Amino acid sequence: MHGIQVNERLTMMKKLLFLITLSILVVGQLSLQGQSLTLSWEGEVLGDTVSVLPSAEEELSFNAIVNNISDNSFMVLAARVELDMPDGTTSNFKWEQDYGPTTDTATAAKFIPASGSSDTLTFIGRYKPNGSTDVAIIKYSFFREDNHDDVVEVVVKYMHTPNAVEENLSQGVRFSDIYPNPCDQMVNFDYTIDRNREGTASLKIVNLLGATVREHQIDRDNNKLHLDVSDLEGGIYFYSILMGEEVLQTKKLIVR
């Protein structure tokens, strides 16, 4: 009789362990299935952190496309958290509509169908350095209206170089803006480099992820550069003029 009771207890323990294991697997599977959103730009999945490069523009911007990778359609909201803002700087964002600097969470949701995405203008993060040269760090979150735990987040580092600094760095070097801008085939810019200025001049174009997509050495004996950009995908890029390792200026380039 005692042996039978022991066997029954062992059987009950095995069943209990099986149920616990099954529950863990089910919960884990549900957790994996719960991640419905991803972020991308120009066909590339965005990482947890993105850097927006220095620019002479008064406002820096960050764009992202929100992708619904699930089989269900739902409404999506966006939110902003200013993690580290230098004194005197401001930020705001657009999610279907523009929100002011004091709004952290969008009040209107965006419908994203199953296996669908937002368009390129649905979300824009904006940052105004107002003369500051310090780095600003802002987190953006995108989540289902009916389930705030189903969320994707990205931390954006905004870096800025004001015009005054640019002018000091550019002594002996003069560059026009790239033109035409926006462009679709060729871009041009005019320049002069003082012969007494040391260093090799170059042009570098990077995408929003900070990856270099084009780098071209500038001929000192020529005053104009023509560059074919027809192979670049449409979107926002940044181009920098360098003298050796020194960045003289960085500005936005839009490719159609």
Q: How many residues does the chain have?
A: 256
Check whether residue 174 and residue 151 sit in a common domain.
Answer: no
Domain that includes residue 184, residue range: 163-255
Which helix (H) or strand (E) covers residue 174, if one does? strand 173-175
What does 66-95 look like in DSSP terms, one character per residue? Answer: EEE-SSS-EEEEEEEEEEE--TT-EEEEEE
Q: What pLDDT is attached to residue 56? A: 64
Q: What pLDDT is attached to residue 32? A: 40
Q: What pLDDT is attached to residue 26? A: 39
Check whether residue 142 and residue 188 sit in a common domain.
Answer: no
pLDDT in tens, 145-170: 999 999 999 888 887 655 433 443 45
pLDDT in tens, 183-227: 888 888 877 877 777 778 888 888 877 788 888 888 877 878 888
Check whether residue 62 and residue 133 sit in a common domain.
Answer: yes
**Distance separating alpha carbons of residues 211 and 13, to the nearest angstrom:** 56
Torsion, Cα of 43, 47, 48, 49 (10° steps): -100
Check whether residue 71 and residue 150 sit in a common domain.
Answer: yes
Which residues in the chain land under pLDDT 50?
Answer: 2, 6, 19-33, 163-169
CATH (domain of 111): 2.60.40.2310
Cis peptide upstream of residue 180 (ω within 30 degrees of 0)? yes
What does 119-163 look like in DSSP terms, one character per residue? Answer: -TTTEEEEEE-TT--S-EEEEEEEEETTEEEEEEEEEEEE----H
- The answer to whether the CB of 55 falls within 8 A of the CB of 252 is yes
Check whether residue 199 and residue 97 sit in a common domain.
Answer: no
